[in-house]
Structure 1
Amino acid sequence: MLVLLLLLFLLHLLLLVLQLVLPLLLLLLLLLLLLLLLLLLLLLLLLLLLLPLLLLLLLLLLLLLLLLLLLLLLLLLLLLLLLLLLLLLLPLLLLLRLLLLLLVLFRLLLLLLLLLLLLPLLLLLLLLLLVLLLLRILLLLLLLLLLLLVLLQLLLLLLLLLLLLLIKLLLLLLLLLLLLLLLLLLIRRLLLQLLLLLLLMLVLLLLLFLLHLRC
């Protein structure tokens, strides 16, 4: 009986320890999940902070391009003035040739200006495309992380269920052992009682036999 009481006491202690440890494990897992979410939010905030810097760089590039355009225009004006002076000095045939050359140069300059105006737009488009690609990659990473978190939660739930099942199985086994011990004890007591009865019967038979002999 003392052994049975000790076993029951140990079982009770095991259950108390499990009840204390399982909530602590769950709290630790929740804290880890919260830390991962905070890291993701920090990454997003960093990206949002970097976007104004990119816009400032784009504005600086545009200003530089405009300055280059102004310089080119000034150079063109100077060239035109020089050509006009040459035209005044040269004969009419040379003037006609120079006019043709001027027309060709003017067309070339117009093409260059158009290209210079289109370059910033192309750069802006490229930068916007890069930003969109980065945002998509970040969204994909976030989705993957969320999926991983969900999978981790499912795995944790499965592990907890398995632990509970194992604990229940252990408890059942211990109860079976206790029942077997009780049965063994009962069987021993019954055997002892039977032996005592047999001894009493033998004693009675001997007494009867002795009485019969005396008679």
Structure 2
Amino acid sequence: MLLLLLLLLLLLLLLLLLLLLLLLLLLLLLLLLLLLLLLLLQLLLLLLLLLPLLLLLLLLLLLLLLLLLLLLLLLLLLLLVLLLQVLLLPPPPPPPPPCLLLLLLLLLPLLLLLLPLLLLLLPLLLLLLLLLLLLLLLLLLLLLLLLLLLLLLLLLLLLVLLLQVLLLPPPPPPPPPPPPPPPRLLLLLLLLLPLLLLLLPLLLLLLPLLLLLLLLLLLLLLLLLLLLLLLLLLLLLLLLLLLLLLLLLLLLQLLLILLLLLLLLLLLLLLLLLLLLLLLLLLLLLHHHHHHHHHSQ
């Protein structure tokens, strides 16, 4: 009787262990499905990250192009103001040349030489921007700040030159004419004088209009630059949010992997218990059979 009771108890334990084993297998399947879903979500988030990165690169390139255009416009405005100054003001005594203007005049050929090279290297620059995005963002922000400071300095210089043109008194009367030139040169000057007199008012009329148009274009470019900066900030915020979501998904994935490992360990323990119970059951059956056989003899 005791052997029979032990056999029944062992059978019940086996059934319970089998049920636990089935439950663990179901949990493992569920966790595997959750892991697959998390992997799909991670892939979607990576794709969503790639789109703002490409937009960010395009915006940075547009910002650089706009800043180059602004620099060229400011240089053109400076040249126009200097031309107005030469036409409307008397020749001043030779002062020491301004360092900033000399620096700009020296940098202008270098910029014009580097512009085709930059256009040729744009694909390589795009690849480098994709690989080193965070570092380039910091460097580009510093570059934008420096270029904005340079634009402010150029605008200040332009305003000073305009005030100099507008506020200085008219030129003094010209000095007495030099001795008459030779007859041929005098005839040539007399022939060219009407043409010069006709062209000078037209030039004086067109220069302020051109200056005004350039100023309007400069304002439009500045507004576009501000809009691009706002878009850049929004894209950076979107990238940060997507990165946070990706980190959360990675943490969930790690937790699910840990749970899977724990369930696997429990499954192994249950299998070992099942094997032990089966062995014990076999031993009890053998003992019962041997005892019954001995009793029958």
TM-score, with structure 1 as normaliser: 0.52
Task: State the partner residue of 1:2.
Answer: 26
Do residues 27 (structure 1) and 47 (structure 2) align? Answer: no
- Asked if 1 retains the 8 angstrom alpha-carbon contact of 2:31 and 2:260, the reply is no
Task: State the partner residue of 2:104.
Answer: 131
Task: State the partner residue of 1:204.
Answer: 289
The superposition leaves residues 85-120 of structure 1 with CA deviations (integer Å, 9 ceiling, x where unpaired) of xxxxxxxxxxxxxxxxxxxxxxxxxxxxxxx4645x
Task: State the partner residue of 1:54.
Answer: 78
The superposition leaves residues 164-187 of structure 1 with CA deviations (integer Å, 9 ceiling, x where unpaired) of xx78x9487566445434422321
Do residues 42 (structure 1) and 24 (structure 2) align? Answer: no
1:33 CA drift (Å):
2.5
- Asked if 1 retains the 8 angstrom alpha-carbon contact of 2:28 and 2:263, the reply is yes
The structure with more helix, counted as a fraction of residues: 1
Name which of 253, 275, 280 aligns with 1:190.
275
Give me the whole-angstrom Cα distance separating, in 2, the residues matched to 1:133 and 1:28: 38
AA aligned to 2:56 is: L
Task: State the partner residue of 2:38.
Answer: 14
Q: Which runs of 5 or more residues in structure 2 are unaligned?
A: 1-24, 115-124, 138-238
Taking only aligned residues, the RMSD between alpha carbons, in angstroms, comes to 4.2
Give me the whole-angstrom Cα distance separating, in 1, the residues matched to 2:74 and 2:281: 96
Give me the whole-angstrom Cα distance separating, in 2, the residues matched to 1:182 and 1:29: 45
Higher relative CO (Cα under 8 Å, sequence separation at least 6) belongs to 2
Give me the whole-angstrom Cα distance separating, in 2, the residues matched to 1:188 and 1:20: 43
AA aligned to 1:201 is: L
1:58 CA drift (Å):
0.7
Name which of 152, 162, 168 aligns with 2:134.
152
Q: Paired residues, what number? A: 146
AA aligned to 1:59 is: L
Give me the whole-angstrom Cα distance separating, in 1, the residues matched to 2:284 and 2:47: 61
Q: Which runs of 5 or more residues in structure 1 are unaligned?
A: 70-115, 140-145
Task: State the partner residue of 1:95.
Answer: none
The superposition leaves residues 165-213 of structure 1 with CA deviations (integer Å, 9 ceiling, x where unpaired) of x78x94875664454344223212212211210220231133123213x
Give me the whole-angstrom Cα distance separating, in 1, the residues matched to 2:135 and 2:100: 39
Change (3 A) 1:6 1:172: closer
SS of 1:205's partner is: helix
Give me the whole-angstrom Cα distance separating, in 1, the residues matched to 2:52 and 2:34: 27
Structure number with bigger Rg: 1
Give me the whole-angstrom Cα distance separating, in 2, the residues matched to 1:174 and 1:36: 44
- Asked if 1 retains the 8 angstrom alpha-carbon contact of 2:28 and 2:260, the reply is no
AA aligned to 1:204 is: H
Map 1:65-80 to 2 at 5 A.
Answer: 65-66=89-90
Change (3 A) 1:16 1:151: closer
